[in-house]
Amino acid sequence: MKSVTKSKMIRMPLIGDVMMSGARTVIGIVMGLVAGGILIALSGVNPFAAYASMLRGAFGSLPAFSNVLVRASPLLLGGIGVAMGIKAGVWNTGIEGYMYLGAIGAAVVAIQPLSIPPILHVLLSFVVGMLFAAVWGLIPGYLRAYKGVNEVTSTIMLNYVAIYLTSWLVSSPQPLAEEGAFYPMSKLFQESAQLPILMRGTSLHPGAFIGIAICLLFYFILNYTPFGFRTRMLGSNINAARYSGVDTKKQVVFIMVIGAILGGLSGAIEVTGLKHRVYMEFVTGTGYQSVAVALLAGGNPLGVILTALFFAALKAGGATMSIETGVGASMTDVIIALCVIFVIAVGVDGRRRMKKKTAKAETAVTTEGKEDEHVV
């Protein structure tokens, strides 16, 4: 028995080490892309041509890359919101709902003709949006911390409530809604409440840069502040955290509300930056994709920047790919899903290796006979 374990560890030392390191995310992504390529080929399109057009669509020119940044904006903010939760052992899957609430809050301010400087008008919209989302996030946070309600269930349920609430609010005759519109939408935002376009002929708004700054901020908070330490302790061992005097319930509520605020900001930026109206069902899965972003990043804020940009590049490039080569529009989602699945699968493999290593470490201190019993 022992010899088998030993030979496995020895036979492929290099691959084993690579698997253990952060590179396994990269391996998972590459495998996902290969599998996606096979599916593209099955649909009758040359996968190399398809991926080339995807690359062009994401990085081929400055306007193309600006599309990536626009798409990355909600993923960055939503991703970091979920990542904070992962670090604390809480699954904050309500980003989709927070985005709707943030958008509504922003719209309430943004449609008012206020005689204040544009920067203040935009900031005020953000603050009200974040406030709306924070209140929304308080519900699952409180339920999880004090009533023991599973936060995945409650946040996903509340997402639906938020979606329908928004649909109702932007359908006439509600005060927010545009009258006589052919699709339920809010009134047009005042010009002073619209985010500036940073590059002519594109939709590039500052959202992605705000997102990256916030990811860096949370990297600092998580690693260098008492609050961050408490958060990480909560995630690694909740009993130890409680034993050392952390108010774990309060901490859980905090984490959920912070995630909600970030989700709300993400929604507020999306509506003030892109279309300057809240349309019915304006978020289509971005909130759930940010869960995948955080998952792929392993909850690491710096990883969130990379994975959010990667997802955004896949989405923006995928749009060009389907326009130029005729690959179905849903192929992008399929490729993203494949990447996530492979990264998780490779990760599971890594954990098993971890166990083997510990088993091997134990052999060093025990006699051979004892070790055999141990492993079997």
User: Footprint of other proteins on this chain (CB under 8 A)?
Assistant: 8, 11-12, 34-35, 37-38, 40-42, 44-49, 57, 67, 70-71, 74, 164, 167, 171-172, 180-185, 201-203, 270, 274-277, 279-286, 315-316, 319-320, 322-323, 325-326, 328-330
Of the pair 145, 327, the CB lying nearest other proteins is at 327
- Residues 53, 58, 63, 68: is their CA dihedral positive or negative? positive
Cβ atoms 36, 338 nearer than 8 A = yes
Of the pair 38, 116, the CB lying nearest other proteins is at 38
Residue 159 CB coordination number (10 Å): 22
Residues 6+ apart with CB under 8 A from 217: none
AA identity, residue 52: A
Residues 6+ apart with CB under 8 A from 272: 106, 110, 122, 125, 126, 189, 193, 194, 195, 205
Closest distance of CB 68 from other proteins, Å: 10
| CA-to-CA separations, 126 to 197, 247, 262, 275, 302, in angstroms, rounded | 17, 30, 10, 16, 24
Of the pair 151, 270, the CB lying nearest other proteins is at 270
Cβ atoms 178, 187 nearer than 8 A = yes
Closest distance of CB 72 from other proteins, Å: 11
Closest distance of CB 274 from other proteins, Å: 7
Of the pair 249, 275, the CB lying nearest other proteins is at 275
Closest distance of CB 89 from other proteins, Å: 30
Q: Is 119 helix (H, G, I), strand (E, B) or coil?
A: helix
Closest distance of CB 256 from other proteins, Å: 25
Closest distance of CB 358 from other proteins, Å: 20
Of the pair 231, 325, the CB lying nearest other proteins is at 325
Closest distance of CB 330 from other proteins, Å: 6
Of the pair 218, 342, the CB lying nearest other proteins is at 342
Q: What is the DSSP code (8-state) at residue 177?
A: B
- 312 closest CA partner among 282, 290, 281, 338: 290
**How far, in Å, CA of 337 to CA of 180, rounded?**
39
Closest distance of CB 203 from other proteins, Å: 5
- Residues 84, 126, 124, 101: is their CA dihedral positive or negative? negative
Of the pair 70, 246, the CB lying nearest other proteins is at 70
Of the pair 158, 316, the CB lying nearest other proteins is at 316
Q: Is 64 helix (H, G, I), strand (E, B) or coil?
A: helix
Closest distance of CB 323 from other proteins, Å: 6
φ/ψ of residue 56, rounded to 5: -60, -40
Of the pair 235, 273, the CB lying nearest other proteins is at 273
Residue that has been written with the tokens 């971890």 in this structure? 354
Buried-state track 314-323, b at ≥16 Cβ within 10 A, e below 16: bbbbbbbbbe
- 26 closest CA partner among 368, 289, 342: 342
